[in-house]
Structure 1
Amino acid sequence: MGMREELQAEMAEAFDDPDGLADAVKPVTGVRKVAGEYDPDLGGAPEVTTTYGGRGVFGSYLAKEIDGSLIQTTDEKLLILQNELYLTVEGVPTAMIAEPKIGDIIDRKRALNVSQDPVGATWTIQLRV
């Protein structure tokens, strides 16, 4: 088992542990809307919606991280396991792992920044209402 798989297994265990993060873990739903292919019958490109879901831990930023511009006091930090974030079709998870992007709407908040840890096990997402 590589470092990534080991870290994901440890984090998943912490997410499930009643003495760990289980009470803080919440379901997460993300939506991305992009222009599809040009349709001459419509005279434009229809909007295509991609939905994904998983579970994560919402937190806040430390006071020293808040600068009032890039990070505001109302911004939230979301930590998600990469191997648990799946594309969904009509609410049912598929076998495809999703990748969040800047501009996505996650639980009615806009993603301003998306980063991953060095081994690629978790996503950290900055959210703003």
Structure 2
Amino acid sequence: MGLRDDIQADLAEAFDDDLADAVRPVAGIRTVKGGYDPGLGGAAPASTIQYSGRGVFGTYLAKEIDGSRIQTEDVKLLVLQSELFEQQAGVVGKTPAAPKIGDQISGYRALNVSEDPASATWTIQLRK
């Protein structure tokens, strides 16, 4: 088991035990514009990517809030990468999902997405 696997296992255990009261379901959706399709004589229809998992919603520290890039009402979301999967026809599949800026996540819009150095978690800045 590598370092990443160890970290993810420890975090999943913490989500199950120590943080169980704070862990919430996470649902994301992204609309991807269709490219040019010569068969249709124009743009192909847009597609939708949906994903779900679980995470911990929190707030930013006062020293992190600068009033423009990070505002007081912004929400910080921590999600386990090993538990975020794309959905196919409403059923969670086994394809890992990667959130992106602009996604709609649990009623918020993603402004910034980053991952930790071990690629175990996503940290997502959300705004209403």
Say yes or no: TM over 0.5: yes
How much does 1:38 deviate?
2.7
Secondary structure at 1:67's aligned position in 2? coil
Query: Which residue number in structure 2 is paired with residue 36 of structure 1?
Result: 34
Q: Normalising by the residue count of structure 1, what TM-score does the alignment of the two structures yield? A: 0.94
Report the residue type matching 1:14 in the other structure. Answer: A
Name 2:106's counterpart in structure 1.
Answer: 107
- Residue 36 of structure 2 aligns to a residue in which SS? coil
Cα displacement (A) at 1:42: 6.7
Displacement of 1:30 in angstroms is 0.5
Secondary structure at the counterpart of residue 41 of structure 1: coil
| Counterpart residue number, 2:11 | 11
Change (3 A) 1:42 1:108: farther
Contact 1:29 1:106 in 2 (8 A): yes
Aligned length: 127
Secondary structure of the 2:42 match is coil
Seq. identity, %:
63
Q: Which amino acid aligns with 1:46?
A: P
Residue 74 in structure 1 maps to residue 73 in structure 2 = yes
Structure 2: runs of 5 or more not aligned: none
Whole-angstrom CA distance in 1 between matches of 2:57 and 2:90: 22
- Equivalents in 1 of 2:116, 2:35: separation in Å? 34
Shift of 1:108: 1.5
Alignment-derived partner of residue 23 in structure 1: 21
Unpaired segments ≥5 residues, structure 1: none
Deviation of the 1:36 alpha carbon: 1.9
User: What is the alpha-carbon distance in structure 2 between the residues aligned to residue 42 and residue 94 of structure 1?
Assistant: 33
- Residues 82-122 of structure 1, C-alpha deviations (whole Å, 9 max, x = no match): 01000001221111100011111101111000000010000
- Whole-Å separation in 2 of the counterparts to 1:95 and 1:36: 24
